[in-house]
Chain A
Amino acid sequence: MLFTSYLFLGFLALVLILYYVLPKKTQWPLLLCASYLFYFAAGAHFLLYLLSTTVTIWGAAVLIDKNHQAQKTYIKEHKEEMDREAQKTYRAAQKKIRFRYFLAALLINLLVLAVVKYANFFIDNFNGVLRAFGNAEGLSFVNIALPMGISFYTFQTIGYLVDVYRGNTAAEKSIFRFALFVSFFPQVVQGPINRFGEMAPSLYAQKRFDGRQVSFGLQRILWGYFKKLVIADRILVAVTAIFGDPANQGAYVFVGMIFYRLQLYADFSGGIDITIGIAEALGITLRENFNRPYFSKSLPEYWRRWHMSMNAWFRDYIFYPLSTSPALVSLTKKVRARFGPGAGKRVPLYISSFAAWAATGIWHGASWNFVVWGLTNWLILMLSEEFTPLYERFRRATHTEQSRAYDVFQIVRTFLLIGCVNLFDCHATLGATFRSFASMFTSANYHVLTDGSLLELGLTGLDYGILAVAWLIVLTVSLVQRKGSVREQIEPLPYAVKYVLFFGLFLIVLLMGAYGVGYDASQFIYNRF
């Protein structure tokens, strides 16, 4: 049931009506039923994966929490008989028990993810090694469909497990309430990856109908559909035409790179707008995932503003624990003793962020392209870290610290840099990616930008016109957003103005959404991750 289908709109309308009409105590159970129905529609057998994650993580978290509480009670009751050392020994023994529960649940879920998402990647590489040694017969590929949203809900629940293990979050006692956290239908498909401690209060609370909140939610949903249907699905046609034909090199790659950036933003942030809008209409607060990322002036800043919930996840659950792990602490000491403090303090950063970016790459997809994509990001981020003092000196020397022109230069440079890195996402192989990248500098075909060739990519002049106006609207909204919530700024306007704005946007989505002949309202890009 795609967000962009009429069936989903009917489903959503029904859920919203029942949510506020039925008794309040049935609100979260209703959402649980709706979420399972939504998931069931994607494929009945997928429910097994969802259920196995729900049961294993819930069970392990409850056991960990029980042990933690029992430990606290025991120490409190025996405080006088136990000295500091005895307490430490007791705590260490209990921690070992908790770690076993934690590890068991973690491994089960990572194993399931590895099998459904990465089995064929491993088999392909294994066969490659066999072939290299002259063995023509390899393993055959397995045929497993990827369960909807598995990367998102697996990571969200692992985050919860870590939080409970660390004692930062109390475990949810009710498996049904926990099942809703895992399966909540607006976010199960493509996130944002939420934290239980933040989401639980509004997820399970009983809500009164709040007209303003529902209206705000619906406005955001409409905005999401605008980005997805008017921009992303329209520009998709040209992106597919460009990267679908290996003969398109040089200027076509340059155009495709820019179009893909625009498509990805409109598609992903549009989908997230729909998700957060639905949650808002239901009175539930989710994490934001974007903060006008294309205004970023550097790659580190971009990664703080794009897919924020995923980056925060990798920071909190991979980078941070790894950088403070005993092995790295010991390595840091050795490097510091041998090469000095400057080298020593770089060890945790370099190694942990390398691991986090390799994991981010492989999370996005089972291919070497994504691994190299992740590591390219890592390399640029590390170079950026090293060169920061140099950049600052340069700006002071050239008196460009306050220069608007230099800011614009940085924004454009960052946009193009991310475009180049994202070419890994546009091609299936590393060879094709590098050929495509190099051709932008070596092919002398930039005349296609002006000779009408771009009109042969499946988009008419009218389509380009609509895209230009739509982007102008997105840009204007982004600029207005700098002063705070756009919806709150619109709210005090006269009713007639608001009506024209929202009805106008609705009409644009209805009339200019890309679902006419030759188009097909397509799956969201991040659904495949």
Chain B
Amino acid sequence: MEELLEILGELHPDVDFENETQLVDDGILDSLDIVSLIGEIKRVFDVTVTAGDIIPDNFNTVQAMMALIERLEEEA
């Protein structure tokens, strides 16, 4: 979780990611951020987020992102 928050903090230092629940739906993370984010997730967690996983529900909260990463780690 810490590592993920660090990545997100680099993208938008001014956002309180732990308490936001509509990161994508509210436009805090746009498509360009998501691309950067997926690249960072790949580097740090060694998992590949596939195109099918790029849906708002997987990126609206930090918890959803962590759940996605854990699922991908299981499947690897």
Residues of A within 8 A of B (CB): 88, 91-92, 166-168, 315-316, 320, 323-326, 328-329, 332-333, 336, 341, 344-346, 348-349
Q: Are B46 and A329 in contact (CB under 8 A)?
A: no
Q: Indicate if B42 sits at the interface (CB-CB under 8 A).
A: yes
| Beta-carbon contacts under 8 Å, B38-64 to A | 38-40, 42-43, 46, 48-51
A323 to B41, CA, bound (A): 12
Does residue B28 face the partner (Cβ distance < 8 Å to A)?
no
Contact of A88 with B39 in the complex, beta carbons under 8 Å: no
In the complex, which residue of chain B has the Cβ closest to the Cβ of A336?
B10
28 examples of A-B residue contacts, CB within 8 angstroms: A88-B46, A92-B46, A166-B48, A166-B50, A167-B76, A168-B50, A316-B51, A325-B39, A326-B43, A328-B39, A329-B36, A329-B40, A329-B42, A332-B36, A333-B10, A341-B11, A341-B12, A345-B11, A345-B30, A345-B32, A345-B35, A345-B36, A346-B32, A348-B35, A348-B36, A348-B39, A349-B32, A349-B35
Q: Which of B38, B39, B42, B75 has the most CB of A within 10 A?
A: B39
Residues on the B chain within 8 Å of A333, using CB:
10
Are B43 and A329 in contact (CB-based, < 8 A)? yes
**Interface check B20, CB cutoff 8 A:** no
Closest 4 pairs between A and B when the two form their complex, measured CB to CB: A329-B39, A324-B39, A345-B32, A324-B38
Task: Name the residue in B32, B33, B43 with the highest tally of chain A Cβ atoms < 10 Å from its Cβ.
Answer: B32
Interface residues of A: mostly helix, strand, loop or mixed? helix
Give the distance to chain A from B76, nearest Cβ to Cβ, in Å: 6
Residues from chain B with Cβ under 8 Å of A349 in the complex: 32, 35
B42 near A326: Cβ-Cβ < 8 Å:
yes
B76 — which chain A residues lie within 8 A by C-beta? 91, 167
- Count residues of B near A (Cβ-Cβ below 8 Å): 20
Asked if A324 contacts B35 (CB within 8 A), the reply is yes
* Chain B residues, CB < 8 A from A315: 51
CB distance from A349 to the nearest CB of B (A): 6
Q: How far is the CA of A332 from the CA of B48 in the complex (A)?
A: 18
Counting chain A CB atoms within 10 Å of each CB, which of B35, B40, B42 scores highest? B35
Tell me the complex Cα distance, A323–B32, Å.
Answer: 10
Tell me, in angstroms, the Cα distance from A324 to B46 when the chains sit together.
12
**A329 CB contacts on chain B under 8 angstroms:** 36, 39-40, 42-43
Most B C-beta atoms less than 10 A away, residue of A316, A324, A326, A332: A324
CA distance A88 to B47 in the complex (A): 11
Instruction: With CB as the reference atom, state the residue of chain A lying closest to B13.
Output: A341
Q: State the CA gap A344–B40 with chains docked (Å).
A: 13
Chain A residues lying within 8 Å of B50, measured Cβ to Cβ, are: 166, 168
Asked whether, in the complex, the Cβ of B51 is within 8 Å of the Cβ of A324, the reply is: no
Chain A residues, CB < 8 A from B51: 315-316, 320
Q: Give the chain A neighbours of B11 by CB distance below 8 A.
A: 341, 345
Please give 10 more A-B residue pairs, beta carbons under 8 A apart, in addition to A166-B48, A329-B42, A332-B36.
A88-B46, A166-B50, A316-B51, A320-B51, A323-B35, A325-B39, A326-B43, A329-B36, A333-B10, A348-B39
Cα–Cα distance between A326 and B40 once the two chains are bound (Å): 8
Collect the chain A residues with CB atoms within 8 Å of residue B75's CB: 167
**What residues on B are CB-neighbors of A324 within 8 Å?**
35, 38-39, 42, 48-49
Residues on the A chain within 8 Å of B33, using CB: 345
- CB neighbours of A348 from chain B (8 A): 32, 35-36, 39
| B39: chain A residues within 8 A (beta carbon) | 323-326, 328-329, 332, 348
